[in-house]
Structure 1
């Protein structure tokens, strides 16, 4: 049985990705910063008949937590086939390039960028044992430099500089990781789930968590002829007129 780890999997998009992978026959480890929330998510999946799931306490901002999670997962499987780096935060609104303090930058980057690096580096040895390893980093169209550079476009978000910067850094990390793994079976991609109705967006958006989960899971399930070092966004951006940005 193939195995997958999804970070931030106790709710929202991460939970839907975990559900889809479990439905596809994976044993899924649901990473959750809060153990009780992770256990509740697992019970929900088991109630649906998806029994090959396990909650793992995983705070991506803590190296000791990441290392502990790796030991737990390595204790039940030698191979990890899929890693979905989904855990992320937006930071406080409103974010100004001129006025927002460095402590807020550090907080968001610690989850959205450094957290991905921590988790990826911890699980790469297990993934190298897979015949078809897949890494999907959850990104956003808001990280696009070309879209952001159109400073006259009032519909493009300009007040999330920390969040956008962290995801732009994530996109570069995705490409560099794919480059270093280019002569292997790894497929490494970044995917925007779209503007999704979750707690992250205060339940506003044009996509459901189920739709967003499908967009992410698609690239966890690609075949050997699938893409790598790419960024994918299936939903139109800039945001629609009713977007709160």
Structure 2
């Protein structure tokens, strides 16, 4: 069945289906479909039959021939492809860590099969980078009604271990350290890293850098609430009024 994985990936491309959408068609997990595409797992015969029948492709061709776009277009008329569709940008899938799966993530974060089964976001980010999304669960990164609140989502870019010490201090990071998942500002000094909350009543956490198993530099934030668009407006108006008074007095 060496051609099966390549063929279903080609079918997804022609149909412009995400892995999740394709998996849903046949009651599969996204991670399972991904394993088929990568040749890490072989499908059951009933799954093969379902896929072949759904797309009107002979089972023998699906398993033993590397299908081309032209051949796929001949199998079923609704498998359409044109130059515009072929250039359609495919956004990367970003695994999402939620409050419910955090403990499982701490145990299995290094296992590809586990991360493939996490819920995910699709965003127009650099597909050559590795990202992780995280649902905020505390008020640690809030201050004076500003900052991050529960249900906000942050998206971090993976930081290679050799780059840890080169990060500018104060960057917002998501760290997997010991048995914790910590979202704070990182401050690196020598062999240690201090993770500091924005909330003034939260104590710092200090770890040896070697204890950090994963580090994600936060690049994007999605707020669960609508931000106050007029934030700081009153203060700016007061400053403007003071300047106007100053100019008026200088004229007189």
Calculate the TM-score normalised by the size of structure 2. 0.23
Structure with bigger helix share is 1
State which structure, 1 or 2, has the greater radius of gyration over its C-alpha atoms. 2
Calculate the TM-score normalised by the size of structure 1. 0.23
